[in-house]
Amino acid sequence: MIGKSILIVGATSAIARHAARALLPAYQHFVLAARNHAQLAEFAAQLSGLGAGSVHTLGYDAAHDINRDLIAEAKELLGELPDTVLIAHGLLPTDEESWRTVETIENVFRTNTISVFALCAQVSRHFEHRGHGILAVISSVAADRGRMSNFLYAASKAALDVFLDGLRLQWQSRSPALHVLTIKPGFVRTPMTAHLRRTPLAVSAERVGTSIARLILRQSSGRRYIPWWWRPIMTIVANLPDWVLRQVKV
Amino acid sequence: MQQYLQSWAGRATTRAVETVVLHSTDDNPFPGTHARVLARGYGCSYGDVCLPVDAAVLCTELRRIRSFDTETGIICAEAGLQLGDLVALTIPHGWTLPVLPGIGSVSIGGAIANDIHGKSHHWAGTFGRWVRRFELLRSDGRVECSPSVNTDLFCATIGGLGLTGIITWAELELVRCPSPWMECRHVPFRSLEEYAACVEQSEKEYEYVVAWCDLSNRGKVTGIIHAARFCEQPADRQMQGSKRAAIEHLPRLPFGVFTRPTVWLGNRLRHLVHRMRAESIEYYHTVLFPFNGIPWNHLFGRRGFFQLHAVLPAPGYIDAATALLKVLWESNVPLPLCVLKNFSSLQSPGILSFPIPGMSIAIDIPNTSRAHEALQTIIAEIVERGGRIYPAKDALMGPEQFQRMYPLWHQVERLRDPRCCSEFWQRVTKLT
């Protein structure tokens, strides 16, 4: 099998699409998992048109398929374990007051956090046995500090960050060829954020996607901010006293 | 879309041209009008061979691997695939391209059209020698060419500067390599005579040999011969990805950074670094693609630069090189980079192929009027001595000079697709 292989969960998201495109031609084999079958088929066709060696698809609903072993399914489709797993699915509640309902809390945490933990556990089992691999997970800069808006989303991503930090240390102690990459994009113009107010700091999904591909190709690990200047910004924001955040109402 | 296209050295098309992206499933990219087109990849040619007259067909979406046989090392890939990406795919299977340029972003189509050479010319010859067959998309249809089928078109396309049609895919022969790691040796030399003696010795032992020269001291040529060969996987080294620097995306600077003092300083540093290590084991990437990750062309500023890339014929190349350098030194221009490489007598199938037995010399010179004058003198001198200028790098030679250096150009002109033309071809053949 020539070229590397990747499993992308949440493959129809705008960022994941751009990342997959930019991973060509170093990555030739793709397993795309997502909820929307029509979009998935359309994107798979597009990717093979761009020159991918093989493209497989898997229907996957993060909120409900927590017990499925997606990695084993990908292994079956590819004939071997994927070199890299990119987890790109996420749920941003559209209603600011929705955190008050238990139903939303459960939904957000199942999609953003628990399903990812479950996938990470499965990836770990397979990758640790093999001794090399890259796990890249899309988190968010929002996770660094709870703000007045969207803090349920931020909390779900913050749990993810801490979990991945721990996993990274575990993996590093096992093999130098196991990489955990926590991708922290800033505000991105995507369908998920279409309902939010525009900010001058927003960047395009294409830029974030190509940056993610570059990080994966370079085999980077750690918490990586995209674009890089979010790191100093979030360091400051995370250390601001409450009254400042109350005043600016971000 | 109408846009101005640029060459690697910063020259732009004289007017905005139409650009069309070609996909593998597309039928005929020749637009409905009577525009003259030129296939274009990643714009890595220095001069105007990559600048179209009316319209450009971008082959950057043709990146599919059609087949790869890991037993025989024969790969068939679409023409827009970059050579750096290609070897990244094949090296884990123990195969590499025998001919590689100094930058990995060159496309397969561009490599064939310019019949590129590399650090391995002493045993591998040019890129065209490793091409088994390819498909040409001409205004009258698709043609498959190989050394036995459509031979004349095959020979005209190798080194044919994209004038015979658009290359859509090509089948290439690879050579074995035991691991992605290379054993390197760095041998200093203090004169051209010393270079000539050392390089012969290095070529016997190493697969990839190239020399870097320091021209910042007037009248004195010093430098380092870099020799490398693939070796077995070292036990203490991990397989690693391409570590590219963050300065990769530096935009073109508004001013050039190269002046005689900065070049002098840079050369001193480089000597210092190599004095500390004579031998090393490095990842293939750092050895074969030294320019990856460095926006070298953007450091010359808005005016861009010239690269003089000539081959000086075998007996007496030291005299020719000395005469040529004397002109450059007298004109007081900064010379930030000079690369030497000896060409063997291995023949290429290409009609317009550049290499002839002798020494190849490539010198980067920031674009100034003084540099312009000096280069005119040098080109005339090279023609007199029976040398050649590389079309892929050239920006200055006149029609008479080109036609004296490449007397067989008529054969390519005869097979040229009437719908293909470049600014270069217009200049050197005086076509309108």
Distance CA B299, CA B118 (A): 24
Segment B220-237 mean pLDDT = 90
- Give CA–CA dist B136/B164, Å, rounded: 8
Instruction: Reply yes or no on whether the pLDDT at B353 is more than 90.
Output: yes
Q: Which of A2, A25, A214 lies closest to B81 in CB terms? A: A25
Q: What is the pLDDT of residue A7?
A: 97
Rounded Cα distance, B227 and B207, in Å? 7
Note the pLDDT of residue A176.
86
Question: What is the DSSP secondary structure assignment for residue B6, as one 8-state letter?
Answer: B
Task: Please list, in sequence order, all residues whose beta carbon lies within 8 angstroms of the beta carbon of residue A26, skipping any fewer than 6 positions away.
Answer: A3, A4, A217, B85, B88, B89
B174 with B87: CB under 8 angstroms? no
pTM for the model stands at 0.87
Candidates B89, B90, B292, partner chain A, best to mutate (most A CBs within 10 A): B89
Q: How many angstroms away from the CA of B64 is the closest CA of chain A?
A: 4
CA angle B252–B254–B258, rounded 5-degree value: 85
Residue of chain A whose Cα is closest to the Cα of B85: A26
Token code pair at residue A79 = 């004939």
| pLDDT at residue B240 in the model | 58
Any A CB within 8 A of B297 CB: no
Q: Which residues of A touch B64 (CB under 8 A)?
A: 25, 50-51
Residue B195 — very low, low, confident or very high, per pLDDT cuts 50/70/90? very high
State which residue of chain B sits closest to A52, comparing Cα positions: B64
Cβ–Cβ under 8 Å, residues B383 and B377: no
Residue A25 has its nearest CB partner, among B23, B63, B242, at B63
Q: Which residues of B touch A214 (CB under 8 A)?
A: 244
Q: What is the pLDDT of residues B354-390, one digit of tens each?
A: 999 999 999 999 999 999 999 999 999 999 999 999 9
B364 phi and psi, to 5 degrees? -90, 135
Exposed, middle or buried, B347 (CB in 10 Å: 0-12/13-18/19+)? middle
The one-character DSSP state at B255 is: S
Please give the structure tokens belonging to residue B395. Answer: 């920006």
What percent of chain B is predicted at pLDDT more than 90? 72
pLDDT greater than 60 at residue B241: no
* B247 touches B294 (CB < 8 A): yes
Residue B86 with chain A: CB contacts under 8 Å: 25
CB contacts < 8 Å between A and B, how many?
A: 48
Q: Which residues in chain B touch residue A6, judged by CB atoms under 8 angstroms apart?
A: none
Find the length of chain B.
Answer: 432
Q: Which helix (H) or strand (E) holds A48?
A: helix A37-49
Residues A123 and A71: beta-carbon distance below 8 Å: yes
Residues of A with CB under 8 A from a CB of B: 2-3, 24-26, 28, 49-51, 53, 176-177, 214, 217-219
Q: How confident is the model at residue B331 (pLDDT cuts 50, 70, 90)?
A: very high
Nearest to A3 among B25, B89, B244 (CB): B89
**CA of A24 vs chain B CAs: smallest distance (Å):** 8
Interface check B67 vs A, CB under 8 A = no
Q: What single string gives the DSSP state of each residue in A135-202?
A: EEEE--GGGGS--SSSHHHHHHHHHHHHHHHHHHHHHHHH-TTEEEEEEEE-SEESGGGTTSPP-TT-
Separation CA A211–CA B55 (nearest Å)? 31
Nearest by CB to B88, which of A26, A51, A214? A26
> How close is the nearest chain B Cα to the Cα of A152, in Å?
35
Amino acid present at A144: D
User: Measured between CB atoms, does B26 come within 8 Å of chain A?
Assistant: no
Phi-psi region of B35 (alpha: psi -120 to 50; beta: other; left: phi over 0): beta
CB contact under 8 A, A3 and B24: no
Residues linked to residue B171 through DSSP beta bridges, in sequence order: B76, B133
- Band (pLDDT 50/70/90 cuts) for residue B411 is very high
Which residue from B minimizes the CA distance to A175? B238
**Residue B252 pLDDT:** 83
Mean pLDDT of chain B: 90
Query: Which of B141, B146, B173, B148 has the alpha carbon at shortest distance from B157?
Result: B146
Contact A2 B65 (CB under 8 A): yes
Nearest residue of chain A to residue B241 (CA atoms): A218
Instruction: Name the minimum distance, in Å, from the CA of A26 to any CA of chain B.
Output: 6
Residue that the structure tokens 């459960």 belong to:
A106
**Looking at residues B412-428, what average pLDDT do you find?**
93
User: Which residues in chain A land under pLDDT 70?
Assistant: 249-250
| Count of beta carbons in the 10 Å neighbourhood of residue A228 | 11
Residue ranges in B150-297 assigned as alpha helix (H): 151-157, 192-205, 260-275, 284-288
Predicted pLDDT at B315: 87
Structure tokens that stand for B148 in this block: 């036995």
Contact B75/B90 with Cβ under 8 angstroms? yes
Burial string for A207-226 (b: 16+ CB within 10 Å, else e) reads bbbbbbbbbbbebbbebbbb
For residue A23, give how far its alpha carbon lies from the nearest alpha carbon of chain B (Å).
Answer: 11
Q: Please write the tens of the pLDDT for every residue from B271-324.
A: 888 878 888 898 898 899 988 878 888 999 888 899 999 999 988 899 999 999
Instruction: Give pLDDT, residue A2.
Output: 84
Q: Judge whether B118 and B137 are in contact, CB under 8 Å.
A: no
Do residues B334 and B259 make contact, with C-beta atoms less than 8 angstroms apart?
A: yes
Check if B66 contacts A (Cβ < 8 Å): no
Interchain proximity A218–B242, CB inside 8 Å: yes
Q: Which of B146, B176, B181 is nearest to B73 (CA)?
A: B176
**Residue B172 burial class via C-beta count within 10 angstroms: exposed 0-12, middle 13-18, buried 19 and up:** buried
Mean pLDDT of B70-88: 94
Q: Yes or no: say if B98 and A60 are a contact pair by the CB < 8 Å rule.
A: no
- B285–chain A nearest CA distance, Å: 13
